[in-house]
Structure 1
């Protein structure tokens, strides 16, 4: 599976940006573990390693520590969820994961359980792969979902500039999840030309 999605190219991707179903948008500095998360009128700049950040509401910095902390948590939750939809297969060997080959209805499948980390540890995903190892869909057992074994498709695979393959279309319970405006770059200036110093407030 990792070979099929060009995982090495993903590991070497420096910057990536995307829009999650017209609800949230992201710029991710993968090497420095920084992210810009936008939703509604909010823009959050997040240090993912420290789980800290700053948030702007309609361009105005939120100075109240309690309000900022709540919005930083929301931004991190958005990032954890939406980056999983961006490239869940690449997280197969994340810390706290367990992997097993499972026979399911006569088909070899890959069961991945997240025992820790992320927003909802304990979730399990049963991956169904094509003959080349590329994911077609998974069935998931997630604590936040009332339906167990829920199917989500992984379709419309797109090669980004770095060479990694990412699925840009998913269907779950007749709901379409789309990854839009997807691109990668070597520099922040390429991916955020209007604000090449986007993350400088986090480095002060």
Structure 2
């Protein structure tokens, strides 16, 4: 993985810092994370706004989507760069992640997100098609886990507002005619339960327009970081339409995170969870 000097790159390269609110029983891939909206009974103003957020992003369609395919990357004035490629079997937990650490190093991790122990996923990692064993294999699986938790949260956060351990509060002083603002804090769950998020939910569409966060590893007096969620894609599935943002633009900086090449396939490519060499394209 290429490391850059921009603060945005440094932030998302921290592995799991942006995966607040994810516990062992609410990790994407576990059965509890994709409850249809008709199982939720909003009790507060914050719940009602979060419930509308789920509906606007297509939670019920997401619940019935068997596979997810996306890329995670960065965009700067110098161009766009793909950091990792993801393919997820949401029924079995099988997960494929591909990334590079230079022009001659192609990593593939074939793991299962339901088999997580001490920051690593059960499975096998490969470098240029050769299986990694021992410390090298453990390190690659740890990298895969960090990529999984970080990258999927940048993509799926609007669908996770009712995850176990998430505390929602409505901020009337910050809300406007254009946006309802939710503050998310977390119980003792996930890798960094001290993270805080502010979700700016459109009063017109119900979608997430912007978020801000203050991460557990930041200085207490550091200002929150703001990103606009843009370039929404409508992804058809058997249960309806899922709506996800493919670009998160840093406010006040000429750079963005990309969660693109989005698809909800009905079936994976042949050998998707067994082929040790890269196969998810070079886009």
**TM-score for both structures, normalised by structure 2:** 0.64
Aligned to 1:134: 207
Q: Output aligned runs, 1:29-40, within 5 Å.
A: 29-40=89-100
2:247 to 165, 169, 181: 169
Question: Is the alpha carbon distance of 1:23 and 1:123 closer, same or farther for their aligned partners in structure 2, counting shifts above 3 Å?
Answer: same
Give me the whole-angstrom Cα distance separating, in 1, the residues matched to 2:233 and 2:162.
22
Give me the whole-angstrom Cα distance separating, in 1, the residues matched to 2:175 and 2:207.
18
Given that residues 201 and 208 in structure 2 are in contact (C-alpha distance below 8 angstroms), is that contact kept between their aligned partners in structure 1? yes
Aligned-pair distance for 1:199?
4.7
Aligned to 2:84: 24
Give me the whole-angstrom Cα distance separating, in 1, the residues matched to 2:123 and 2:140.
9
Give me the whole-angstrom Cα distance separating, in 1, the residues matched to 2:127 and 2:224.
38
Count of aligned positions: 195
Greater per-residue strand proportion: 1
Give me the whole-angstrom Cα distance separating, in 2, the residues matched to 1:106 and 1:178.
27
**TM-score for both structures, normalised by structure 1:** 0.88
RMSD: 1.9
Given that residues 125 and 140 in structure 1 are in contact (C-alpha distance below 8 angstroms), is that contact kept between their aligned partners in structure 2? yes
Question: Is the alpha carbon distance of 1:200 and 1:133 closer, same or farther for their aligned partners in structure 2, counting shifts above 3 Å?
Answer: same
Given that residues 198 and 211 in structure 2 are in contact (C-alpha distance below 8 angstroms), is that contact kept between their aligned partners in structure 1? yes
Give me the whole-angstrom Cα distance separating, in 2, the residues matched to 1:121 and 1:78.
18
Give me the whole-angstrom Cα distance separating, in 1, the residues matched to 2:175 and 2:58.
28
Give me the whole-angstrom Cα distance separating, in 2, the residues matched to 1:150 and 1:100.
19
Given that residues 184 and 197 in structure 2 are in contact (C-alpha distance below 8 angstroms), is that contact kept between their aligned partners in structure 1? yes
Give me the whole-angstrom Cα distance separating, in 1, the residues matched to 2:124 and 2:189.
22
1:156 aligns with 2:226: no
Aligned to 2:17: none
Aligned-pair distance for 1:161?
2.5
Aligned to 1:90: 159
Aligned to 2:10: none
- Structure 1 gaps, min length 5: none
